[in-house]
């Protein structure tokens, strides 16, 4: 029997000042059902997501109903869950717009990764 939970886990890089600032905006909304998990040197997060530290640092990840979502898809799940940001979900989930959003996200995430990769173990 597969058990689906209403709780979604958001795996984010709390040591990145930009990432932390954005996530803190979402946390202020105090929406039930979101568990915020800092991936900074977090072996449990690596085990739960089955992702290496480099992969976790590279993109935002969300675990929902046993599945891992990353990048732009992960943001859509967060925004859909938070009433104040649901308008972003509605706009950015439209097919052509989602493709553009995904490209923009990947570019921004790459530069944030370069800024923060010193966290990785050598």
Domain boundaries along the sequence of the chain: 8-119
Mean pLDDT over all residues of the chain? 92
pLDDT tens, 32-77? Answer: 999 999 998 899 999 999 999 899 999 999 999 999 999 999 999 9
Tokens 């940001």 sit on residue? 85
Confidence of residue 4 (pLDDT cuts 50, 70, 90): low
- Classify residue 11 by burial, with Cβ atoms within 10 Å: 0-12, 13-18, 19+: buried
E-state strands within 61-101: 61-64, 67-70
Q: Report whether pLDDT(121) > 50.
A: yes
Contact 37, 12 (CB under 8 A): yes
């Amino acid at each position: 029997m597969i058990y689906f939970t209403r709780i979604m886990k958001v795996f984010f890089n709390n040591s990145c000042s930009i990432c932390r600032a954005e996530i803190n905006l979402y946390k202020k909304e105090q929406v039930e059902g979101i568990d915020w998990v800092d991936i900074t040197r977090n072996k449990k997060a690596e085990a739960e997501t089955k992702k290496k530290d480099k992969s976790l640092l590279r993109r935002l990840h969300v675990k929902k109903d046993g599945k891992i979502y990353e990048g732009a898809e992960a943001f859509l799940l967060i925004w859909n869950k938070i009433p104040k940001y649901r308008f972003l979900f509605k706009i950015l989930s439209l097919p052509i717009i989602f493709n553009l959003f995904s490209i923009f996200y990947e570019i921004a995430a790459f530069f944030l990764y370069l800024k923060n990769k010193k966290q990785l173990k050598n």
